Structure 1
Amino acid sequence: MHTSIYVISDLHLGGSPGENGRPGFQICPPRTHVLLKQFIDRLPGRTPSSDTRLVIAGDIVDFLAEEPFLAFTPDPETARKKLARILDDTAQVWEALQRFAKRDGALTLMLGNHDIELALPGVRQLFLDRMGPGRIDFIYDNEAFTCGPVLIEHGNRFDEWNAVPHGALRRVRSQLSRALPVKPEFPVLPGSRLVIDVMNPLKRQYAFIDLLKPEDAGALPIVAALGAAGFRDVWQFFQRFRQTWAVDFDENREPQDQEFIGAGDQSDQQLFDLAQDIASGGDAAQVGAVSDFLGQVAEAVSDKVRAARRSALFKAIRSTVNKHRDAFAVDKELDTYLTPARAAAAAGFKVVVYGHTHLAKHVRLGANSDAMPVYLNSGTWADLMRMPDAIWQADADRAASALTAFVAELESNALDNWRRGVPTYVKIDLDDNIVCAADVYFADSDAQERVTTGALMQKLSGGSSHG
């Protein structure tokens, strides 16, 4: 039988809209909900000679974007209310999934790191009730989804900031199922704490912060240069994280400790050091005072201070040029994800699919030019934002001028020229469990357009708003 597997991930449905039609805390806005509904409605159902499976590989909804903002919502009633609000606000997506199930399509739902609460007993039941009847399964206990030579998972367990301690989560589920108090508390993820304690407050001041990619420590020098008041909190949080969360990977980036996946990334340390230097003028002891001073510029910014801020920002951005470019290179991926993908290939899998990073990828895993085995990343349905190419040009004066114009829009939260919805999906075709084709495609039309670096850069280029 012929089987087509479609993989999408990182929908991040949820969050309140902002004022005057702005997205606010929605990183997957209503215009993308429409595209998602249309994509699901185009999927064929099962026939006597073919089958179709849709895998939604984690971060389906976003509890971190729902008020009250919590790094983890252990109270089942509060979590149910958050989910119910998301389901109501994005009803067209769930209705499309129900129609797909009625066509006898198979639906596999997977847990990510922004939707951990979906695994909790009462929340999970509400979620599955909304799906309705059909060939629907929900994987929420750290398993990967496999279909013959295909392996699919969210990918967060290889990320030291966002690996879910599933042993602790099982304990919480067990306690809640018996109406027992959750003791000890669930050890919330460092990445979730970063979102709640730092990113969400910064987002009120700088709406771009969770749209820039790469979405990790690479954004912190930029935030420091902008004088964001939360920079000191970021630094203190990072120090606590390094002391309490870091554990070792083995050679395949599997966790040595069954609860966590860890190991400090020295590039994170270097980026924090750069941010610290920018904020303090080279004296780390002054970082708090200087960032507090810079934080006042929103109220009264002299030309001199503005120039100093932009000079620091220019230094921060130019120092990360290779990291930024590689993030959007479809044929390049971090070893964080390639190492476990190669281990999966060595175990016999021909196609390895992750999500989590929000960056679509197609990287061959073999030693030669064979199409298989291959690593694919399904990308995201959340919005992205990429800095304009002019910032990276060799002529420093022209680059600085381009940066000045770009930062002026960032400072005023005028993001329409730079915010882009570029949803992507993976499609894998199998005949009797033999892979015929596997690639990642753009989902913003019914044409099956492969994601390439050039096409992705074009869709992300600034100057006019898409959709």
Structure 2
Amino acid sequence: MSDFPEYDEIHAISDIHMGGNRLDFQILRETKRLANYIGWVGRQRSGGRVALVLNGDIIDTLAEDIHGYVAVDEAVATIQRIMKDPSFTGIWKALADFVKLEGHTLIIIIGNHDIELSFPIVQRLIITYLAGADLAARARIEFSTTGAGYTCMVGNARVYCTHGNEVDAWNYNRYEDLAKVGRRLNVSRSLDPSEWYPNAGTRMVKEVMNDVKRRFAWIDLLKPETSAAIGTLLVLDPSQVSKIGKLLSIVGEKVQGQKQADQRLSAEGFQQPSQDTTLPFTADRLLGPNLKAGILGAKASDGRSAEDMLLAAEENFNRPNANIAAAADSTLGTPQLILDSLTGWMRGVGKDEALRRALKDWLANDKTFDISDQDDTYKQVTAAVGSPIDFIITGHTHLERAIDMGGGRYYFNSGTWIRLLQFTGTMLKDTASFKPVYDVLINGKMEVIDQAKFGNEPFVMDQTSAVSIREENDSVVGRLTHVVGDGSGTPVEIKKFTGK
């Protein structure tokens, strides 16, 4: 008997992001398709052993109106609101129907937008909501919320699933601190907001992105964690400059999990992560080269050239023992420089040209839709996984991947179910070609984004991804697929690997 659960087949999806109590904050569109896909998985392998893996960021509490950065006292109410939201009720019903099926197991893995899943009271809520008092159905629901991922066997192949934020310094979960919050809740104690130190990605979302999203709903559909995205935000809303200045101190932050104190029996002493700005600050890193090139000719309010101020700011940020937070607020600091130079330059070229340049920086050397690209998540996760693992499945990046690692081992990223926007070279070629795109973006509303077409192609891509690992004819076959139509039919195969 194996040390790990055994299945005839598993199906993995991730980055569903159910959440947002207003429609413009809901980035999941294909809700009916998802509910039907869950039903399709439930119909596979009658009499066999089937697992559905929800591989992180299943809900999105960062899109909810919670106090602070993590829902503690309001965790149950927040999850209940998401479950009862008319946009998502069909999905939860499909999951409830799934766990009623004999031989079928639902595995829920934590991500970085749904960290409340680690709380015992939330897990109990979900189990009761899906299975009620049915003990057999309750036993078919498993959680993996300690950062260990989930390992199982399909045939003679070992499969490892993890969300992927574990290797992302911006979005790393401090699992020991989450366990302490769970202990607080279990003994009817609360958490003072000052005790919780959020990761850099959470701060970016809560302190900057959510404000921008209220005006420009589409901003969430691009990966905003990249540094060049800051230039895009500044073009859209220069008032964000003060908040971005505060975030500069954590750009390049390296979270050193091995240095965290292991205090498993304590509910005290929340760990403040190490901040190691090992990546030097540069204007290119912050703005991107295209946007920087545009502002270099501008003059600051005191008459200095933008180039002189950029150089001064970089020296200020990178000098030994510099106080980065103070530097960001100083007269030489980058925020005021950006505000002066960017707004001055934009008076001459217009906001549409500024945004076009910012987007070109954002998408430079773009390999978003190259399923064979060995991105950072691939490199770091595969480096941490031992050779006995035959199939690795991640999520987190929203970028689907299918890579042959060699030696009969394979890597998949299950992509996402949220809306995806694709900017082509033609769209960003020049100001004239970008103008119709700009008009849609500056409108900002999700329904306009959904209806937009350029060159007879929808602006929002019709792409919802899944990964399956199945035992077939004495072999184990892994597939990256697209779920299409209403989701009730067999997904379309994109890439197939046959293992041992």
Residue 121 of structure 1 is matched in structure 2 by 120
Residue 374 of structure 1 is matched in structure 2 by 410
**Equivalent residue for 2:243, pick from 211, 233, 239:** 233
The C-alpha deviation readout for 1:289-323, integer Å capped at 9, x for no partner, is 576579999xxxxx973734333333333344444
Partner SS, residue 12 of structure 2: strand
Partner SS, residue 160 of structure 2: strand
Contact preservation (8 Å) 1:213, 1:386 = no
Contact preservation (8 Å) 1:332, 1:361 = yes
1:180 is displaced (CA, Å) by 2.6
Name the larger-Rg structure: 2
Partner SS, residue 167 of structure 1: helix
The AA in structure 1 aligned to 2:91 is V
Residue 257 of structure 1 is matched in structure 2 by 259
Contact preservation (8 Å) 2:481, 2:493 = yes
Residue 456 of structure 1 is matched in structure 2 by none
Contact preservation (8 Å) 1:218, 1:268 = no
The C-alpha deviation readout for 1:270-304, integer Å capped at 9, x for no partner, is 4315388467853344754576579999xxxxx97
Contact preservation (8 Å) 1:152, 1:354 = yes
1:404 is displaced (CA, Å) by 2.5
Residue 455 of structure 1 is matched in structure 2 by none
The C-alpha deviation readout for 1:228-266, integer Å capped at 9, x for no partner, is 421441232131465xx5345xxxxxx443476987574
Partner SS, residue 388 of structure 1: coil
Quote the Cα distance in structure 2 between the aligned partners of 1:233 and 1:69. Answer: 18
Residue 252 of structure 1 is matched in structure 2 by none
1:227 is displaced (CA, Å) by 4.2
The AA in structure 1 aligned to 2:411 is Y
**Equivalent residue for 2:443, pick from 412, 431, 437:** 412
Contact preservation (8 Å) 2:212, 2:237 = no
Contact preservation (8 Å) 1:40, 1:96 = yes
Quote the Cα distance in structure 1 between the aligned partners of 2:466 and 2:130. Answer: 21
- Classify 1:296/1:322 alpha carbon distance in 2 versus 1 (closer, same or farther; 3 Å): closer
- Classify 1:386/1:292 alpha carbon distance in 2 versus 1 (closer, same or farther; 3 Å): same
Q: Does residue 196 of structure 1 match 2:210?
A: no
1:125-204 mapped onto 2 (5 Å cutoff): 125-132=124-131, 133=134, 134=137, 135-148=140-153, 149-182=158-191, 185-204=195-214
Quote the Cα distance in structure 2 between the aligned partners of 1:174 and 1:304. Answer: 52
- Classify 1:322/1:279 alpha carbon distance in 2 versus 1 (closer, same or farther; 3 Å): closer
Partner SS, residue 411 of structure 2: strand
Identity, in percent, stands at 25
The C-alpha deviation readout for 1:87-138, integer Å capped at 9, x for no partner, is 0012211111111112221111111111111222322221221121421111
- Classify 1:430/1:185 alpha carbon distance in 2 versus 1 (closer, same or farther; 3 Å): farther
Partner SS, residue 50 of structure 1: coil
Quote the Cα distance in structure 1 between the aligned partners of 2:231 and 2:469. Answer: 39
1:188 is displaced (CA, Å) by 1.7
The AA in structure 2 aligned to 1:315 is R
Contact preservation (8 Å) 1:111, 1:154 = yes
Partner SS, residue 239 of structure 2: coil
**Equivalent residue for 1:271, pick from 270, 285, 292:** 285
Q: What's the RMSD between the two structures over aligned residues?
A: 3.2
Contact preservation (8 Å) 1:45, 1:100 = no
Quote the Cα distance in structure 1 between the aligned partners of 2:402 and 2:368. Answer: 12
- Classify 1:178/1:334 alpha carbon distance in 2 versus 1 (closer, same or farther; 3 Å): same
**Equivalent residue for 1:426, pick from 463, 467, 472:** 467
Contact preservation (8 Å) 2:230, 2:287 = no
Partner SS, residue 129 of structure 2: helix
Q: TM-score, normalised by structure 2?
A: 0.75
Partner SS, residue 402 of structure 2: strand
- Classify 1:214/1:337 alpha carbon distance in 2 versus 1 (closer, same or farther; 3 Å): farther
- Classify 1:100/1:185 alpha carbon distance in 2 versus 1 (closer, same or farther; 3 Å): same
The C-alpha deviation readout for 1:58-101, integer Å capped at 9, x for no partner, is 111111111136321222xx121111110001221111111111
Partner SS, residue 123 of structure 2: helix
The AA in structure 2 aligned to 1:404 is K
1:49 is displaced (CA, Å) by 5.7
Quote the Cα distance in structure 2 between the aligned partners of 1:450 and 1:294. Answer: 49
Residue 316 of structure 1 is matched in structure 2 by 358
- Classify 1:429/1:153 alpha carbon distance in 2 versus 1 (closer, same or farther; 3 Å): same
Residue 331 of structure 1 is matched in structure 2 by 372
The AA in structure 1 aligned to 2:467 is V
Q: TM-score, normalised by structure 1?
A: 0.80
Residue 53 of structure 1 is matched in structure 2 by 51
Contact preservation (8 Å) 1:46, 1:103 = no
- Classify 1:52/1:262 alpha carbon distance in 2 versus 1 (closer, same or farther; 3 Å): farther
- Classify 1:46/1:384 alpha carbon distance in 2 versus 1 (closer, same or farther; 3 Å): closer
Partner SS, residue 99 of structure 2: helix
Contact preservation (8 Å) 2:7, 2:51 = no
1:347 is displaced (CA, Å) by 2.7
Contact preservation (8 Å) 1:69, 1:196 = no
State which drifts further: 49-58 or 39-48. 39-48
Residue 93 of structure 2 is matched in structure 1 by 95
State which drifts further: 206-215 or 421-430. 206-215
